Structure 1
Amino acid sequence: MVKPLNKEASLLIEELRRLISNYPLVKEFNTISKDIRKNTELLKYEDMLKNYQINMVHSLNENDDHKYNKLLKEYECLKNEYYNNPIYVNYLFLKDETNSFIQEIVEILNNP
């Protein structure tokens, strides 16, 4: 059973959270994460991609290979547009950088 943290440890953890949250990379990532969820163009792409996925599954269930292949090509084009959107590209870059930053912190904490 894990012992509850003492007050000092809880305060240190809270301070670490605050420092991480205020780190410029993390702040930028959090900002773009919020922006990406509000971006109407990207939301439109997401809806369209979901609809294509649903329609592709239906065409497979109907054994309509021609329709499926047509939908798949259209889906791939749309997905490429989505993945190459500058906002999304920047989001992925910041996500990778932020994950690396957090992983580095975890490694430091695990290997004092």
Structure 2
Amino acid sequence: MTISTLWMGDGGQKLSLPTLIFITTSALTIFASTFVYWKNPVLMLASIILAAYPLGKINPQLHSEIFVQADTQHLSSTIAIFKTLLLIGAPLGNTLFLTIVNLLSPTKSWLF
């Protein structure tokens, strides 16, 4: 993700935000399928790299959209709320994932 964010001359910044989100979601779906069905470590690594690259492009585009759309008087509070929601999402996702793992199985949690 860091390399993707720092590398500006690759053409990835020309992709739209929905396209980048689609690529990331598709790569994570491939990763989950590989984890559940094929258990191929090379394919898992490739899908994680494929998911991480557009994630590095999404963050700057999302911030630029916030800068363009938000009112100048509310810009800092808008960014703070956005970052707070992102920080809250990770523990909630982990809690949900680990609850399913403990109740059912790791395979079923990846399917979910």
> What TM-score comes out, normalization by structure 1 length?
0.44
> What TM-score comes out, normalization by structure 2 length?
0.44
The structure with the largest alpha-carbon Rg is 1
